[in-house]
Amino acid sequence: MQNIIRLENLEDSRLDIYRKYSEVQLLHFYEPAEGVFIAESPIVIGRALDAGYEPFSFLVEEKQLEQKNTREVLERCQDIPVFTSSLEMLNNLTGFSLTRGMLCAMRRKALPTLEEVCKAARRIAILEDVVNPTNVGAIVRSAAALHVDAILFTSPCADPLYRRAIRVSMGTIFQIPWTVLDKQMEWPKEGFCRLRELGFVTVAMALTDQSVSIDDPEVMAQDKLAIILGTEGEGLKQETIDACDFTVRIPMSHGVDSLNVAAASAVAFWQLCK
């Protein structure tokens, strides 16, 4: 039975999850247990449900309750509280404009190990200290679309379950295996050892004197590749570049030296994950 709760004011303490806490606080909400994240829009929430994430409340614009895609999501979550009001009231509550008029607070799941994520993978992406949630979301979406089998994040990266990262990824973060490296090992030193034990050849995306073209035949011939992308602006750490088996670049024209990391990731995945 659907549990619809129509809001008359914003003082209900059950709304604090949407109003009171920052995303960092939500991440640590049940510490030491896994925390909370906010998914936005029926499509994204549906993909999170498909991946087995557990909802504990919804925040829905009243007009959206009659929309087919909203009803389909809510019908999968009987007895979960659905708080509803006007869009203006909900925007005042959250401090931002709701995309597709729907939010869902969900429990995080324990992260898998590197070995679990990479068990059946041939092509993986590693994001080193990519701090912009928009870039993280865009890279995840490109990875899911362009045949990347798994994604590894270093802990300084923007959390891939931040609301904006999830939204930019269109929920594809729920469709591709991923984990955070630094929670399990020292990066890059121990990380490289474990990747090589799993049979991965490492590829740094970087501009150096030793960089080869991204379509280099020797690179393309490798059975298992780990494609490593660096932070906005500074790129990869020199220690990471030095540890890689190959360093590759995307050929440029008109005097342009590089692309935004999200754009570069799409080119790299298209070429290296064929």
Q: What is the pLDDT of residue 1?
A: 56
**pLDDT of 55-103, one tens digit each?**
999 999 999 999 999 999 999 999 999 999 888 888 888 888 777 789 9
Average pLDDT for 200-220: 94
* Residue 46 clears pLDDT 90, i.e. is over it: yes
With beta carbons less than 8 A apart as the criterion, state whether 76 and 51 touch.
no
Q: Report whether 57 contacts 26 (CB < 8 A).
A: no
Backbone angles phi, psi at 157, to 5 degrees: -60, 150
Q: Which tokens hold the place of 149? A: 């089998």
Instruction: Give the pLDDT score at 11.
Output: 80
Distance (Å, rounded) from C-alpha 24 to C-alpha 4?
A: 29
Percent of the chain with pLDDT over 90: 76
Beta pairing class for 225-229 and 123-127:
parallel
How would residue 183 be classed by pLDDT, with cut points 50, 70 and 90? low
Q: What is the pLDDT of residue 200?
A: 98
Q: What is the mean pLDDT of residues 147-176?
A: 96
| Residues 167, 71, 170: CA angle, nearest 5 degrees | 15
Candidate from 89-93, 146-150, 176-180, 204-208 with smallest mean pLDDT: 89-93
Q: Write out pLDDT tens, residues 224-256.
A: 999 999 998 889 999 999 999 999 999 989 888
**What whole-number distance in Å separates Cα of residue 166 and Cα of residue 103?**
12
CB within 8 Å of 146: residues ≥ 6 apart: 266, 269, 270, 273
Which pLDDT does position 12 carry in this prediction? Answer: 83
Q: Give the model's confidence band at 38: pLDDT under 50 very low, under 70 low, under 90 confident, else very high.
A: very high
pLDDT of 112 above 80:
yes
- Name which residue leads in pLDDT, 11 or 181: 181
As a whole number, the mean pLDDT across the chain is: 93
Task: Please determine, for residue 157, whether its predicted confidence score (pLDDT) is greater than 80.
Answer: yes
Burial call 203-218: b when 16+ CB within 10 Å, e when fewer? bbbbeeeebeebebee
The one-letter amino acid code at 91 reads: N
Residue for token pair 């969900």: 106
pLDDT reading at 205 higher than 70: yes
Please tell me the distance from the alpha carbon of residue 261 to that of residue 228, in angstroms, as a whole number. Answer: 11
CA distance 92 to 94: 6
